[in-house]
Structure 1
């Protein structure tokens, strides 16, 4: 039985979270806030690094009672440069992080990317641009910088060398994703040499388009760009799987999720989130690429089954659209409307022919969306960021509520829910909120 820390109450003040990002294997996540940044282990949740850029020269290390490993904590003199970190990106579990200033009193200018060496507690590299930096991605050999109308690729060198610049449509949310190319348990390598590739995805130059490029050394030499016409409306959210073989996307409408092959740009799956418009705030594939988790501003978490695809280059893409069935009884099956299975000699609207998530839960039942920040201001439509702690465990970090939650996908027939909270279920599967904790380190 997990020990739960009470959630933050509406009247409790705390340092405002400015960004939340998981690392490449989703085993850690970094939080940028008004006074610095924090790094946590994902599961079990455990504070690992705390950097406070406030006006203090204190510097110390201490151990936490919840872990035998040391948690690094320090306050670093800001020298009048401010303290807010508006964006933080981890490089796996190394001592290098990409930082961008933000908040009311930014530590760095918002048009600069600082590669921070946390071992030496100093800047290692920096890049400066003519416009604000909206997103940053790191690999061991690449630094990817996302601006409003450009995506730039640099070598992770001293000084950084620019390899490519890609023009995009107005991308005010800094949408992009970079495959991690870590080892997989999945049996679906669409390309035999996919481990030699590193896929970068970002909005194209026209509405609804996605650009795909290979930023590996071999890919940079070929300089090939693939274009996917994914939606009729502007792209609002996108996510690559770990191997970079699948790209999931949602438009501003937020009713349909589409998954394309990055190898041949074929449409593989089309899933329905709902009928009403919604903003998809976060999407993430599971570690083994068999599930896709989707979170919207309606606070509903959907999980879709993505069947293994052995070699899409040898398959008719039309034959696997909406296909989510398996001979394995323990494999979740995405839901369909009853009319989808009936032979009716009249046209049926696409809504009734849609494929739905195999399980979902509205997280609003566990916490209110109204937060008092100490100034009697209420924040609505909190933004949650998704990560996977395993192939059946989903983590959500909420920025305004400053809480961590773990949801577990269980088989209703074999689960014992006597010690769990009530859940929302579809078919034979359901999502249980298993544990939760306040990010109280921001208030210390």
Structure 2
């Protein structure tokens, strides 16, 4: 007797992936039937494209009509080793890139297309015909970790826990020994001056200056191991948000090397008396470092849920796009004092959080509202 519950009915709309554009003004979602694009600040629908097939990844090129598509889900629209550059204004394919293995991620810039595979990253010129510029080997990268700024590309190194920084103009590669464990998340600040990383341990988030690869901050999410879902810098680059499977959104202050002291926010987590989160315990010699580490100044719950696998496979088992546990906690800053957290799956939710100051002068983060953005 087959007692396994049905994961989804044929008529159920399931969100397979979520991604923001470069300034987080919009977010795109890949569905088992096509893709949608929403305004991020208000979660209003901007674009609908039905394909009668699964789209495991949608990546927008800024605010243009171009999106990169990769097939996914139970019935992929496109082969999962292909990147389709789709012109939505003309409703037709513009470019196609074929890889040897399944595509894990795509990043777009005005003159570059970055295709992430399980063990390599390939950089193409954004032109017809598509021209391969460079290819880089990586450690296993099932999550497709990659971040792209105007000048630099960041992705896992060939050694576990390392990050490769590639200068787009010169092709020069710098190596950052970020963590001892495998990477779980990485993200550039909007100006590309900072890079935040987290490992599979999920306890520490490290921030590096991209100009010299120096570590400028180490932030403690918590003491218990956790799976980091997402990292995101505010528009100024002085705040960093993180989410994890603890269903908690954390907000950290980050020192920015190009900002003056006046432009840096004052942290609640380190009061003027210097005692920090744990008070005098942080000043006692030989105490464990967790008592003196820098913690978030705000933490607030978000909806992570506990959904079954989409397509019946887990990423760790080598699944392709759209056949893993639904993304949750994907963070995007829509303003310096406002951010949204988005999840995929059958219960696909958008939540908006705002930063404020209490009458006592203490900064806080509060949920302003939420909605289910896909009708099943």
Native 8 Å contact 2:230 2:329 kept in 1 = yes
* 1:89 to 2:59 alignment: yes
- Secondary structure at the aligned position of 2:290 is classed as helix
Native 8 Å contact 1:88 1:97 kept in 2 = yes
- Matches of residues 252-271 of structure 1 in structure 2 within 5 Å? 252-271=200-219
- Matches of residues 291-370 of structure 1 in structure 2 within 5 Å? 291-310=239-258, 331-335=266-270, 336-339=276-279, 343-344=283-284, 346-364=285-303, 369-370=305-306
Cα distance change on mapping 1:372 and 1:351 into 2, 3 Å: closer
- Cα distance in 2, alignment partners of residues 267 and 329 from structure 1: 18
Show structure 1 runs of 5+ residues with no match. 1-10, 55-82, 182-197, 313-325, 374-378, 415-426
- Matches of residues 225-236 of structure 1 in structure 2 within 5 Å? 225-236=173-184
- Cα distance in 2, alignment partners of residues 145 and 329 from structure 1: 35
Show the counterpart of 1:26: 24
2:358 pairs with 405, 412, 417, which one? Answer: 412
Give deviations 1:230-269, integer Å, cap 9, x for gaps.
1111111100011211110000000000001111111100
How many Å apart are 1:119 and its aligned residue?
A: 1.1
- Cα distance in 2, alignment partners of residues 161 and 370 from structure 1: 42
Show the counterpart of 2:341: 396
Show the counterpart of 1:150: 120
How many Å apart are 1:209 and its aligned residue?
A: 0.3
Show the counterpart of 1:428: 362
Cα distance change on mapping 1:288 and 1:106 into 2, 3 Å: same
Native 8 Å contact 1:340 1:353 kept in 2 = no
Return the index of the structure with the highest Cα Rg.
1
Native 8 Å contact 1:369 1:382 kept in 2 = no
2:85 pairs with 115, 123, 132, which one? Answer: 115
Native 8 Å contact 2:139 2:157 kept in 1 = yes
2:191 pairs with 240, 243, 249, which one? Answer: 243
- Cα distance in 2, alignment partners of residues 127 and 16 from structure 1: 26
- Secondary structure at the aligned position of 1:348 is classed as coil
Show the counterpart of 1:135: 105
Cα distance change on mapping 1:161 and 1:380 into 2, 3 Å: closer
Cα distance change on mapping 1:163 and 1:287 into 2, 3 Å: same
- Matches of residues 186-225 of structure 1 in structure 2 within 5 Å? 198-215=151-168, 219=169, 222-225=170-173
Give deviations 1:361-396, integer Å, cap 9, x for gaps.
1225xxx724589xxxxx988622111110111101
- Cα distance in 2, alignment partners of residues 381 and 86 from structure 1: 11
Show structure 2 runs of 5+ residues with no match. 1-8, 271-275, 310-323
- Cα distance in 2, alignment partners of residues 340 and 170 from structure 1: 43
- Secondary structure at the aligned position of 2:124 is classed as strand
- Cα distance in 1, alignment partners of residues 126 and 326 from structure 2: 37
Show the counterpart of 2:72: 102
- Cα distance in 1, alignment partners of residues 306 and 22 from structure 2: 32
* 1:387 to 2:332 alignment: yes
- Cα distance in 2, alignment partners of residues 337 and 392 from structure 1: 23
- Cα distance in 2, alignment partners of residues 167 and 213 from structure 1: 12
- Cα distance in 1, alignment partners of residues 220 and 348 from structure 2: 29
Root-mean-square deviation over aligned CA pairs: 2.6
Native 8 Å contact 2:252 2:298 kept in 1 = yes
Aligned residues: 350
- Secondary structure at the aligned position of 1:351 is classed as helix
TM-score (structure 1 length as normaliser): 0.74
Show the counterpart of 1:172: 142
Give deviations 1:43-85, integer Å, cap 9, x for gaps.
122101001112xxxxxxxxxxxxxxxxxxxxxxxxxxxx100
Native 8 Å contact 2:35 2:48 kept in 1 = yes
Show the counterpart of 2:4: none
Cα distance change on mapping 1:168 and 1:342 into 2, 3 Å: closer
TM-score (structure 2 length as normaliser): 0.87
How many Å apart are 1:338 and its aligned residue?
A: 3.1
- Cα distance in 2, alignment partners of residues 340 and 176 from structure 1: 40
